Copies of this chain bind each other. A is one copy, B any other.
Amino acid sequence: MTFIVTVDVALFTLQENRLSVGLIRRPKEPFLGTWALPGGYIHPQEDANAHHAAARILQQKTGVISPYLEEFGTVSGGGRDPRGWSLSVIYFALVPPSVLVGGVELFAVDALPPLSFDHADIITQVVARIRSKASYSSLPMHLCAEEFTIPELHGVYQSIMGVPLAMAGFRRKLDDLDAIEAITGAIRPTGKSRPAQLYRIKPEFEKVLSVRERGF
């Protein structure tokens, strides 16, 4: 009647414009020494809920605190862990490369090494979710540095979505999202006559997404 319950966190960043995931080598059996998502057990005495467990495990295993941390869903069954029937709640985090402190090794999501458990499958599914959400939300903004220019943000969206995006349409959709604000007096020289204005995510969208409406 009992079974294994864990939390695993897929931590994403951009490396050379490629969406990349942070992996660690398993410090114990099963899959000792094999690459894996950072994960661990929920500690009911310590974790207010599964989301808190994910934040704790991410920080303990990788040193990263990610303001944006979203539940992807669960994976479960008898075939995914040699120790027996298991259920894992999967979370994903998006951070700029600057916050990574060496606790993980980065791999482009289209060039993954052999992975433990069903983690390759999980990463594939989470990446599909991220690409889909990128198309209508502020999600990719969490991959940017704290201060960024519009052309930089445009580049991030293009990297995630894998398609060129016309700048005029991109700016209009950014206006719809209303998730960033210009930083007063903060500009960056561009080598051209006009320096670039710097922006940041609005505080109210650091932990939740801004989503564009569509539909019937």
Contact = CB atoms under 8 A, between A and B. Distances in A.
Interface of A: 1-3, 5, 41-44, 48-51, 71, 73-78, 84-85, 87, 89, 134-136, 157, 161, 165, 169-170, 173, 212-216
B43 A216 contact: no
A215 B5 contact: no
B43 A1 contact: yes
A68 to B, nearest CB: 16
A154 to B, nearest CB: 9
A168 to B, nearest CB: 12
A25 to B, nearest CB: 25
B169 A216 contact: yes
Q: Could you say how many copies of this chain the assembly holds? A: 2
15 contacts: A1-B43, A1-B44, A2-B44, A3-B42, A42-B76, A42-B87, A48-B77, A50-B87, A51-B76, A87-B89, A135-B215, A169-B216, A173-B216, A212-B214, A212-B215
B214 A214 contact: yes
Contact of A85 (B44, B75, B77, B173): B44
A135 B48 CA distance: 34
A73 B54 CA distance: 14
Contact of A216 (B50, B134, B215): B134
Given A49-B77, A216-B173, A5 B41 contact: no
Given A44-B84, A216-B161, A50 B74 contact: yes
Contact of A71 (B48, B74, B78): B74
Contact of A78 (B1, B44, B77): B44
A183 to B, nearest CB: 23
Contacts of A44: 1-3, 78, 84-85
